[in-house]
Amino acid sequence: MNGFLRAAAVARKDLRVEWRGRQTITATGMVALLMILLLGFVVGSEPARAAAILWVAMGFAAVLGIPRVTQGEVDQQALETLLLYPGSREHLFWGKCAALTVMLSALLVALLVLLGVLFGVDVWDHGGALVGVGVLGIVGLSVIGTLLAALVLHVRGRELLMPLLLLPLALPVVLGCVRLTEAILTGTAAGLWPAVLVSFDVVSVLVCPILFEVVMDEV
Amino acid sequence: MTAQTGLGAVAVLLLGIAAYVSLFASPPDAFQGEYVRIMYAHVPNAWVAYLAFAITFAASVLYLWKRRPAYDHLAHSATELGVLFTGLALATGSIWGRPVWGTWWTWDARLVTTAMLFLIYTTALLVRGLSDDPLRGARLAAVIGIVGFLDVPIIHYSVVWFRTLHQPASIAPGSLKIAPPMLLALMLSLLAFTVLFMYLLRLRTSLARLEAGGEMR
């Protein structure tokens, strides 16, 4: 069984557990929905604000959803078993990261539809580009998020630490996705933002799996 | 007199000279007036903060690679001092910004990046303190020290392109846009703060070493 199949097995397991319980996607979806309704009401639902509100909501949904990546194993006391399976920890990382990417992408699609309804922005014509940009951001969020989910495992007050770690570190993703979503919706130039997202993704993809193995080490 | 105390004495002496030159011997700025003197404290604070985080990064990489406690003591001490000087840089910048820019805070790239740095490294200290095991805490803090430092350039450019107003850096290679007496004051302050930082770093590192020794016994 090669590394790719191992990672796929982990991802399949995580997604199946999620599909049966649908806890993470429900909780993050509700938070994102609440953020969009609240921000839309408080700052106004002009189409120009849609991009910023969408990605603030995505950011908060990610903060809530990412600790769930490892929470299941902790609740069931299955983390040691998972770590004992043959193969590199890196495969475990990529499996969990892939499952998280799928979940956040599904959330993004749902939120884009909601945005089209609530903010009157034309998401239907630009659907492909909007999802494409979003997934570029979500990959970065998931890679760094998987590392952070493992990092806060053995720390007290991990629910408090996740936003403190994720929001500053993933700031470029949020800013980049806001500007790119605006650019797509208004038809203006994207500037250097794709480069920001790609460089964030590349740095995270190169560094996070290595650090994941360090974080997952037994004492 | 130990080398440690000697370094401290040099730091105090240099700080005295730098304070004299910046407060009395250098002229007021044509535009900023006397407020320019705040810069002689602000710029060195920011420089030392960035230096501290660079040291944290290097020490964290070395610690995860070699697993020698000395590197962790260095990383921990540099993080603490970095957070302290980042806080001072933000405070002095705000105090200077109020009369010169007319505002305490502006959504400028360097300000936002520095605030983000402050948050990331404060959280690194939190993670270390809240960890269930000191060895694990050291490892987790090192991981944040590495990820945070690699993220800084990306955060910086993303904030620059979002919107910006900060005046361009005063000392750029090739074009010196600062009067010689003021440059002297700035350079002296930079030197004084750097020596002070070295002194505090040595002090804090040996304290960390002693603390770790105390826990062993």
Q: How far is B190 from chain A (nearest CA, A)?
A: 28
State the average pLDDT for chain B: 87
Structure token digits, residue A34 = 């609440």
Q: What is the pLDDT of residue B80?
A: 96
Nearest CA in chain B to A157: B130
Domain of residue A167: give its range.
3-217
Residues in CB range of B176: below 8 A, 6 or more apart: B183
Contact A200 B154 (CB under 8 A): yes
Tokens of A68: 């769930």
Q: Which residues of A41-72 are buried (b: 16+ CB within 10 A; e: fewer)?
A: eeeebeeebbbbbbbbbbbbbbbbbbbbbbeb
In chain A, the residue whose alpha carbon lies closest to the alpha carbon of B136 is: A219
Structure confidence at residue B36 (pLDDT): 83
Collapse the DSSP code of A119 into the 3-class scheme (helix H, G, I; strand E, B; otherwise coil) and give the result. Answer: coil
Q: Residue A117 above 60 pLDDT?
A: yes
C-alpha angle A181-A187-A188 in degrees, rounded to nearest 5 = 85
Q: Which of B9-18, B85-94, B167-176 has the lowest mean pLDDT?
A: B167-176
> What are the DSSP calls for chain B, one per residue?
--HHHHHHHHHHHHHHHHHHIIIIISPPBTTTBTTHHHHHHHHHHHHHHHHHHHHHHHHHHHHHHH--HHHHHHHHHHHHHHHHHHHHHHHHHHHHHHHHTSSS----HHHHHHHHHHHHHHHHHHHHHHBSSHHHHHHHHHHHHHHHHHHHHHHHHHHHHH---PPPPSEETTEE-S-HHHHHHHHHHHHHHHHHHHHHHHHHHHHHHHHHHHHH-
The pLDDT tens digits of the residues spanning B121-146 come to: 999 999 999 988 888 899 999 999 99
Measured in residues, chain A has a length of: 219
Number of domains in chain A: 1
Q: Which pLDDT score is estimated for B169? A: 56
What is the DSSP code string of A52-70?
HHHHHHHHHHHHHHTTHHH
B141-198 confidence digits (pLDDT tens): 999 999 999 998 888 888 878 765 445 555 544 455 677 778 888 889 999 999 999 9
- Identify all chain A residues contacting B130, using CB atoms and an 8 Å cutoff: 155-157, 161
What pLDDT, on the 0 to 100 scale, is given for residue A70?
82
Residue of chain A whose alpha carbon sits nearest to that of B126: A161
Q: Which of A74, A159, A164 has the most B C-beta neighbours within 10 Å, making it the best mutation to test the interface with B?
A: A164
Of B202, B116, B105, nearest to B159 by C-alpha is B116
pLDDT category at A120 given cuts 50, 70, 90 is confident
Amino acid occupying residue A170: A
Contact A208, A144 (CB under 8 A): yes
φ, ψ for residue A170, nearest 5 deg? -95, 15
Local confidence band at A111 (pLDDT 50, 70, 90 cut-offs): very high
Out of B122, B144, B150, name the one closest to residue A203 (CB).
B150
- For residue A26, pLDDT over 80 is answered with yes
What's the mean per-residue pLDDT of chain A? 89
Residue of A nearest to B163 (CA): A175
Q: Does the pLDDT value for residue A123 go beyond 50?
A: yes
pLDDT digits (tens, 9 = 90+) for A151-210: 988 888 888 899 999 999 999 999 999 999 988 988 887 778 898 899 999 999 999 999
Please answer whether residues A137 and A205 qualify as being in contact, where contact means their C-beta atoms are separated by less than 8 angstroms: no
Beta bridge pairs of residue B176: B171
Residue B32 scores a pLDDT above 80:
no
Strand partners, B175: B172
Decide if B64 contacts B142 (C-beta within 8 A): yes
Find residue B131's DSSP bridge partners.
A155
Of residues B146, B148, B158, nearest to A196 (C-beta)? B158
Average pLDDT over residues B96-120: 86
Distance CA A52, CA A63 (A): 17
Q: Chain A to chain B, count of Cβ pairs less than 8 Å apart?
A: 91
In terms of CA atoms, which chain A residue is nearest residue B127?
A155
How many whole angstroms from its chain centre is CA A121? Answer: 23
Asked if B119's CB is within 8 angstroms of A193's CB, the reply is: no
Tens-place pLDDT, residues A36-59: 999 999 998 888 888 999 999 999
How many CB atoms are located within 10 Å of the residue B108 CB? 19
Contacts of A171 in chain B (CB under 8 A): 116, 155, 158-159
Taking the C-alpha atoms of residue A107 and residue A66, their distance in angstroms, rounded to an integer, is 13
Taking CA atoms, what residue in A is nearest to B150? Answer: A203
Asked if the Cβ–Cβ distance from A207 to B150 is below 8 Å, we say: yes
Tokens found for residue B159:
């904030």
Looking at the complex, report in whole angstroms how far the Cα of residue A171 sits from the nearest Cα belonging to chain B. 7
CA distance A92 to chain B (A): 18
Q: B17 or A80: which carries more pLDDT confidence?
A: B17
d(CA B115, CA B168): 19
B67 contacts in chain A (CB < 8 Å): none
Nearest CA-CA partner of A145 in A213, A96, A80, A109: A96
Model pLDDT, residue B165: 44
Measured between alpha carbons, how far is A107 from B59 in angstroms, rounded to an integer? 39
Residues from chain B contacting residue A144 (CB–CB below 8 Å) = 147
Query: For A154, which of B119, B136, B154 is closest by C-beta distance?
Result: B136
Calpha distance A51→A127 (Å, rounded):
13
